[in-house]
Chains A and B, each alone.
Chain A
Amino acid sequence: MIICPTCQHQEVAGALFCSECGAQLYNMGSLATHNIQTNEIRKNGFDAPPPMRSAKPTTGTITLQVLDGGQVIPLADRSEFTMGRVSDEQIIMPDIDLTPYRAYEYGVSRLHAVLKKKKEKVTLMDLNSSNGTYVDGLRLDPELEVSLSHGCIISLGKLRLQFLLQN
């Protein structure tokens, strides 16, 4: 059984599109077992429980960890975060500025993606970025929300972040 992230409709395993709202399901199918890299977490002394990919709703705090540097970006108590990099001639600023993490070099757009904390899940949506947003290596369609689960790797262009959920 797959639950559609957009409308919570139940779909038969293997469905590629939600029959209720038409949302695309296939790049986050709960059927798929993903291997996630755990060595980076351990190396940086992050004492997380063995990461398990679970589609269960969670209510904990969320953090992003930069994979290439190990820095942890805590996410304050808000429900929506736009991610990108600050540049001079820009009016709209991203909530999370990734400039310190060599965002420009890695091809992060000024407004790259948005992370939304909802009641039951956390979602990510690409904001028509130039170099694309990837979750576990799969490119997201622009302006289409997908659910995130603990341990998944988000790539904004080439900047890789690991998404962590703590209860």
Chain B
Amino acid sequence: MLDYYALLGIFRDATQDEIKRAYFEAAQRLHPDKNEAPGETEIFLDVQQAYDILSNPEKRAEYDNRLKPEDETLSPIVQRVFYSRQSLVRLNETQLIYALLEWKPRQNKDEVVSPPLNICLVLDNSTSMKGQNIEMVKASAIHLIRSLRQRDILSIVTFNDRAKVLIPASVDIERRRMENQIRMMLPSGGTEIFQGLRAGVAEVRRNFSPERVNHVVLLTDGQTYGDEKEALALAEESARVGIGISGLGIGKDWNDDFLDELASKAGSNSSYIENPQEIQDFLEKKFKQLAKVFAENVELKVQPSPNIDLSYAFRVYPNAAHIPVEDSIPLGIILHDKPLTLLLEFRVKSTAVLKDDVSLLRGSLEFEIPSKALPNQPMRVHIFQKVTEKASLEPPSPTLVQALANLNLYRMQETAQKEASEGNYNEASRRLQHLATHLLSHGERSMAKTVLLEAENLQRQQDFSEEGRKKIKYGTRALLLPAGKGTSR
């Protein structure tokens, strides 16, 4: 018997509203007028049947009775949780607990089919890109075109004050013509990111398909002026339809806060490179990563709890980034060879530990798997910890401590930046000195040096140097990546 709940991608206890919404979404996706893939019309009929039954309370009750129990249906994703403490303590004050969550495909990685790509490169073609930057961009883009696989789609948009579709999205790849187009790029004009982004998202949407990995890669070296809001709204809209956005900033003059926010809305992050030589390496890695996507549009929905404050969230892998905590946290992609890892910090109020068990987080993980046309049933996420009178002696999980130790360094520079922006230069400078000490003990000599230099800059000029600030931010973030994969080392 078909599991209609799984078919619609909802829980067994879904409300009528949720059933309706899931039905509309599935119907839109699978409507015979729209879909091209064979076999989807049959699925569409099943979806209709599912809705007929589940939307009718009597039929639904009768169907529920015949349905096999829920735990026999396996989610395609497995979850693992590490805690910083094996129990919470009944204390009369707020306490902290950390949880490291890992999600990975249930299947072995060899069984996973790598999905075709639908990627648009949005390239900054403003005057400042002249010289080495644009030459490296051209070379890297040509290199990528040569490495495309049969079903991949690559489009290229260039932008300055306005956007131009250099290579439109198409399934037929005419490599030579594409390469010639790229060679003719001539930088001029200003930087208006929204223009480029809008054209890029439009290209991806033309061939949008849930079976592909749909992604925009934005490359820039400058500040955009006045169109940040529109760009952010566009990123949110793209995330909703299932298009991811990654950013790459070259040199010191681009706005990292803006690019980070933009990318994090669409489940990815921004990266920083000092030298144009690193452009090719970045793009190659990005494409390799996207070809390894198992699930996309991963989103953690959190039910707010009055006694527990989810105070900090950081995605450790892939695409390390500090993620703003909201009821719905966009997490981006799950790769098939390495788990998506999320580190959470909870502030537990004293009112929460009166019971013997504390639910730290209740919610669900939503995701789409490109190799499957059907909607996926979200996975329930429930993390909880017991409460004891005395603290447990078990040491925290080493995996978690390691991640937290490195995150600690990233957070120190985050705080220092905040302090500096509020005018507390002495505090920011002192914090950087502490940070340098820890970096030295981690063996990160050159970064420690950069940090000390900035501590001095803060004292003398009451400001960071743009270059140093970015180096520190992306450098400490790179420490969180598996060894050797840092972008700034």
Binding site for B on A (CB under 8 A): 1, 12-17, 19-22, 24, 26-27, 29, 31-34, 138, 143-144
Does residue B186 face the partner (Cβ distance < 8 Å to A)?
no
In the complex, are the beta carbons of B438 and A22 less than 8 A apart? yes
Contact with A along B394-428 (1 / 0, CB 8 A): 01100001001100110110010000000000000
Does residue B380 face the partner (Cβ distance < 8 Å to A)?
no
- CB contacts (< 8 Å) of B435 on chain A: these are 22
A165 to B88, alpha carbons, bound, how many Å? 31
With beta carbons under 8 angstroms apart, the residue of B84, B91, B391, B412 that contacts A33 is B391
In the complex, are the beta carbons of A16 and B84 less than 8 A apart? yes
- CB contacts (< 8 Å) of B411 on chain A: these are 19
- CB contacts (< 8 Å) of A143 on chain B: these are 441
In the complex, are the beta carbons of B89 and A31 less than 8 A apart? yes
Contact with A along B63-104 (1 / 0, CB 8 A): 000000000000000000000110011010111111000000
- CB contacts (< 8 Å) of B2 on chain A: these are none
CB < 8 Å A-B pair total: 60
Q: B477 to nearest A CB, angstroms?
A: 16
Q: B82 to nearest A CB, angstroms?
A: 12
Does residue B149 face the partner (Cβ distance < 8 Å to A)?
no
- CB contacts (< 8 Å) of A138 on chain B: these are 395
Report if A14-B84 is in contact (Cβ < 8 Å); known contacts: A22-B434, A29-B391: yes
A42 to B434, alpha carbons, bound, how many Å? 43
13 A-B pairs within 8 Å (CB atoms) are namely: A1-B93, A12-B347, A13-B94, A13-B96, A14-B96, A14-B348, A16-B98, A17-B404, A20-B431, A27-B395, A29-B391, A32-B393, A33-B390
A21 to B396, alpha carbons, bound, how many Å? 21
In the complex, are the beta carbons of B396 and A26 less than 8 A apart? yes
A22 to B434, alpha carbons, bound, how many Å? 7
A20 to B94, alpha carbons, bound, how many Å? 18
**B411: nearest residue on chain A (CB-CB)?**
A19
Q: A24 to nearest B CB, angstroms?
A: 7
Report if A16-B404 is in contact (Cβ < 8 Å); known contacts: A22-B435, A34-B393, A138-B395: yes
In the complex, are the beta carbons of B408 and A17 less than 8 A apart? yes
Specify the main secondary structure of chain A where it touches its partner. Answer: loop
- CB contacts (< 8 Å) of A1 on chain B: these are 93
- CB contacts (< 8 Å) of B404 on chain A: these are 16-17
In the complex, are the beta carbons of A12 and B94 less than 8 A apart? yes
In the complex, are the beta carbons of A21 and B434 less than 8 A apart? yes
Q: B361 to nearest A CB, angstroms?
A: 16
Q: B403 to nearest A CB, angstroms?
A: 11
Contact with A along B243-279 (1 / 0, CB 8 A): 0000000000000000000000000000000000000
Report if A16-B434 is in contact (Cβ < 8 Å); known contacts: A26-B401, A33-B390: no
In the complex, are the beta carbons of B89 and A13 less than 8 A apart? yes
Binding site for A on B (CB under 8 A): 84-85, 88-89, 91, 93-98, 347-348, 390-391, 393, 395-396, 401, 404-405, 408-409, 411-412, 415, 431, 434-435, 437-438, 441
Q: B447 to nearest A CB, angstroms?
A: 14
- CB contacts (< 8 Å) of B95 on chain A: these are 12-14
With beta carbons under 8 angstroms apart, the residue of B98, B391, B408 that contacts A31 is B391
- CB contacts (< 8 Å) of A21 on chain B: these are 431, 434
A115 to B344, alpha carbons, bound, how many Å? 36
Q: A86 to nearest B CB, angstroms?
A: 28
With beta carbons under 8 angstroms apart, the residue of B84, B390, B412 that contacts A22 is B412
In the complex, are the beta carbons of B393 and A13 less than 8 A apart? no
In the complex, are the beta carbons of A13 and B93 less than 8 A apart? yes
Q: B363 to nearest A CB, angstroms?
A: 22
- CB contacts (< 8 Å) of B437 on chain A: these are 22
Report if A32-B391 is in contact (Cβ < 8 Å); known contacts: A14-B84, A17-B405, A22-B409: yes
Q: B473 to nearest A CB, angstroms?
A: 16
Q: B431 to nearest A CB, angstroms?
A: 8
Of residues A1, A15, A16, which shows the largest number of chain B Cβ atoms within 10 Å of its Cβ?
Answer: A16
A17 to B404, alpha carbons, bound, how many Å? 8
- CB contacts (< 8 Å) of A27 on chain B: these are 395
A27 to B412, alpha carbons, bound, how many Å? 21
Report if A22-B408 is in contact (Cβ < 8 Å); known contacts: A12-B96, A12-B347, A14-B96: yes
Q: A145 to nearest B CB, angstroms?
A: 12
**A35: nearest residue on chain B (CB-CB)?**
B393
A54 to B96, alpha carbons, bound, how many Å? 22
**A27: nearest residue on chain B (CB-CB)?**
B395
In the complex, are the beta carbons of B393 and A16 less than 8 A apart? no
Complex A-B, nearest 3 residue pairs according to Cβ-Cβ distance, in ascending order: A14-B96, A13-B95, A17-B408
Task: A12-B96, A14-B348, A22-B435 given; name 5 further pairs at CB < 8 Å.
Answer: A12-B347, A15-B96, A21-B434, A22-B434, A33-B390
In the complex, are the beta carbons of B390 and A19 less than 8 A apart? no
Of residues B94, B408, B411, which shows the largest number of chain A Cβ atoms within 10 Å of its Cβ?
Answer: B408
Q: B274 to nearest A CB, angstroms?
A: 25
- CB contacts (< 8 Å) of B347 on chain A: these are 12
**B84: nearest residue on chain A (CB-CB)?**
A16
A12 to B88, alpha carbons, bound, how many Å? 13
A98 to B348, alpha carbons, bound, how many Å? 46
Q: B470 to nearest A CB, angstroms?
A: 21
A21 to B434, alpha carbons, bound, how many Å? 6
- CB contacts (< 8 Å) of B415 on chain A: these are 19
A104 to B395, alpha carbons, bound, how many Å? 30
In the complex, are the beta carbons of A24 and B434 less than 8 A apart? no
**B97: nearest residue on chain A (CB-CB)?**
A14
**B433: nearest residue on chain A (CB-CB)?**
A21
Q: B133 to nearest A CB, angstroms?
A: 36
A21 to B432, alpha carbons, bound, how many Å? 9
A22 to B448, alpha carbons, bound, how many Å? 14
A14 to B387, alpha carbons, bound, how many Å? 13
- CB contacts (< 8 Å) of A13 on chain B: these are 89, 91, 93-96
Q: A129 to nearest B CB, angstroms?
A: 16
**B415: nearest residue on chain A (CB-CB)?**
A19
A7 to B430, alpha carbons, bound, how many Å? 12
- CB contacts (< 8 Å) of A31 on chain B: these are 89, 391
